[in-house]
Amino acid sequence: MGSQDVLTDTTRLASYSVFLQVLFRVLTFALNAFTLRYVSKEVIGIVNVRLTLFYTTVVFLAREAFRRACLSQSTQQSWRKTIHLTWLAVPLGICWSLILGWIWLQILEVPKPEAIPHYNIGVWAFGFSAVVELLAEPFWVLAQAHVFVKLKVVAESLAIITRCCITVILVLLSPHWGLIIFSIAQILYTSVLALCYIIYFTRFLGSPEAQKKSFPVERMNEFLPRFSPSQAFLDWKQARLAWSFFKQSFLKQILTEGERYVMTFLNVLSFGDQGVYDIVNNLGSLVARFIFLPIEESFYVFFAKVLERGKDVLSQKKEEISTASKVLELLLKLAALIGLVIIAFGFAYSQLALDLYGGSMLSGGSGPVLLRCYCVYVLLLAINGITECFTFASMSKEQVDRYNYVMFGLSLSFLCLSYYMTLWLGSVGFILANCFNMGLRIAHSVLYIGKYFKGSPYQPLIGLLPSPFVISMLAVSAAVTGYSEVTLCCDKGWLARLAHILVGGVCFLVTLCSVVLSETKLTYFIRSQLLARPQRKEQ
């Protein structure tokens, strides 16, 4: 498969993933807005911070390293050995569930049963759900490697809708169940997710389409581990690469979920404050999660397939490195522009967004300030996602090992900075600490990319510099919407609020036109790749 074919499949996967994340976030925000009317903010804090952190930690530590190693390009890759490697995520997930479950129940502060009942059930239910999801890991890896774009969308959409429907029904019928409601919904979510992958491959394997594509697995029993005296059980080169990523996964998880670890282990915020922070946090990271995360995941696959890991730029195939450089430049441009748009408009509409979503509980106090800080953080998050996407896909095993030491230093500095800045500034300190560490990670990746392309005619880092015309329009829009907020929002009635929204809409359209007129390469890339209609032959 050529680099252009891989690019087409990858951009289609990113487009479908963006749709999936939009659906997920819309349903999640609607669900949060609904449950806030029926359950306490303390329960929201326990579920969205404490239990979700437990679940994501187990899943991330159990599978992230295997995913990155198994999706790396190798001309001699044995899919049987790859499947064997992915199955190791299941026993690893069981171990992490037991270890972390004991910590969550015995070491951490346990909420009072009269305020938040059934906490023990919630911990073990979320741990069990993590193991259930890991059972689908071999199927997920093959689907991702062969770019089965619709499978991921359908599976996760059905799982998300199931969780939301069950939560709403149980909250209406038995709100006094508390954490049991969210435990049942979480187990059903991962069960539906795993079943969708299993059912799909049961129907797909042996079909004419699978034979036409020369799919490496022919029967379902080939997904099960099989020992053979004539063949090694694992690809040890791939396993060593997974071990390198595994050591790194600890540190990356701390950087990704650092503020939740600080809240959970150091008790710097009450359960109620954690609930409010989580809601504002989800709203602030909305665009980052439903646009940047799918793009990062999808284009990691693209760079891993197109580039030979560990080889310098002059040793890569000319067509592949040219395509990779062009795509990296345009992705950086896209990330920078979206992040700057969020800053330009987010400052003037933070208070209104919180007031519409959660009322005075969110729009009063530090909520608007917290969301405005998030606007800056989203820009850094977007750029870091793209730069690290390329960096991790092109690094050699030795470079990955060396980067672990960098991650260790960043993790320590982040935890210390988060703790002291939270004591000083409250929940806003979490965001500022994140901004600082994200800036350091971007600096490291930018230095790596600059060194990687040194001596070649390619300069993808120029994508970080939008055109002066667009920058000027963003500055004008920020000034106009800022004045509109002072004069029209947010305590002057619904007509004034509507006028404020219309002002922002006009400014946004003008800014969008300036991007289309001045960033022609990016516009063509979005139209021809990210927004291209899928072909009928896809899965």
Q: What is the pLDDT of residue 262?
A: 82
Q: What is the pLDDT of residue 77?
A: 57
Question: Are 354 and 280 spatial neighbours (Cβ–Cβ below 8 Å)?
Answer: yes
pLDDT at 163 over 80: yes
478 found inside a domain: no
CA distance 145 to 461: 27
Task: Look at 20-24, 196-200, 327-331 and tell me which has the smallest mean pLDDT.
Answer: 20-24
Question: Which residues are 228's β-sheet partners?
Answer: 231
pLDDT at 74 over 60: no
Q: How many domains does one find in the chain?
A: 1
21-53 core/surface letters (b: 16 or more CB in 10 A; e: else): bebbbebbeebbeebbeebbbbbbbbbbbbbbb
Summarised one tens digit per residue, pLDDT across range 108-143 is 888 888 878 889 999 999 999 999 999 999 888 888
Q: What is the pLDDT of residue 534?
A: 47
Task: Look at 74-83, 88-97, 193-202, 335-344 and tell me which has the smallest mean pLDDT.
Answer: 74-83
487 found inside a domain: no
* Mean pLDDT calculated for residue range 302-325: 82
246 found inside a domain: yes
Q: What is the pLDDT of residue 290?
A: 67
**Tokens 């959660």 map to which residue?**
358
Q: What is the pLDDT of residue 538?
A: 43
Kindly state the tokens that stand for 492: 């002057």
Q: What is the pLDDT of residue 13?
A: 58
Q: How many helices (H) and strands (E) does the chain have?
A: 23, 0
pLDDT at 539 over 50: no
Question: Are 20 and 294 spatial neighbours (Cβ–Cβ below 8 Å)?
Answer: yes
Residues sharing a CB contact under 8 Å with residue 330, sequence separation 6 or more, in sequence order = 463, 521, 522, 525
164 found inside a domain: yes
CB atoms within 10 A of CB 457: 8
Question: Which of residues 105 and 362 earns the better pLDDT score?
Answer: 105
CA distances (Å), origin 460, targets 259, 449, 466:
32, 8, 13
Summarised one tens digit per residue, pLDDT across range 424-437 is 887 788 888 889 98
State whether the Cα torsion 470-475-476-482 is positive or negative.
Answer: positive
Task: Look at 179-193, 293-307, 506-520 and tell me which has the smallest mean pLDDT.
Answer: 293-307
243 found inside a domain: yes
Q: What is the pLDDT of residue 493?
A: 75
Q: Identity (one letter) of the amino acid at 206?
A: G
Question: Which of residues 74 and 283 earns the better pLDDT score?
Answer: 283
Summarised one tens digit per residue, pLDDT across range 476-503 is 999 999 999 888 877 777 888 899 999 9
CA distance 391 to 330: 16
Confidence of residue 259 (pLDDT cuts 50, 70, 90): confident
CA distance 269 to 175: 25
Helix, coil or strand: residue 171 = helix
Q: What is the pLDDT of residue 97?
A: 96
CA distance 241 to 420: 36
Q: Is the preceding omega at residue 490 within 30 degrees of 0, hence cis?
A: yes
194 found inside a domain: yes
Question: Which residues are 231's β-sheet partners?
Answer: 228
Q: What is the pLDDT of residue 164?
A: 85
Q: What is the pLDDT of residue 75?
A: 43
Q: Identity (one letter) of the amino acid at 54?
A: F
Helix, coil or strand: residue 75 = coil
Kindly state the tokens that stand for 126: 């979320």
What is the pTM (predicted TM-score) of this model? 0.69
Angle between helices 494-518 and 318-358 (to 10 degrees): 170
CA distances (Å), origin 99, targets 95, 105, 127, 298:
6, 10, 10, 32
Question: Are 307 and 393 spatial neighbours (Cβ–Cβ below 8 Å)?
Answer: yes
CA distance 332 to 386: 6
Q: What is the pLDDT of residue 531?
A: 60
Confidence of residue 315 (pLDDT cuts 50, 70, 90): confident
Summarised one tens digit per residue, pLDDT across range 436-465 is 989 999 999 999 898 888 878 888 898 888
Question: Are 296 and 328 spatial neighbours (Cβ–Cβ below 8 Å)?
Answer: no
172 found inside a domain: yes
User: Residues of the chain with pLDDT > 70: what percent?
Assistant: 87
47 found inside a domain: yes
Q: What is the pLDDT of residue 478?
A: 94
Domain range holding 326?
Answer: 3-466+519-530
Question: Which of residues 395 and 216 earns the better pLDDT score?
Answer: 395
CA distance 202 to 140: 14
Across the chain, mean pLDDT equals 82
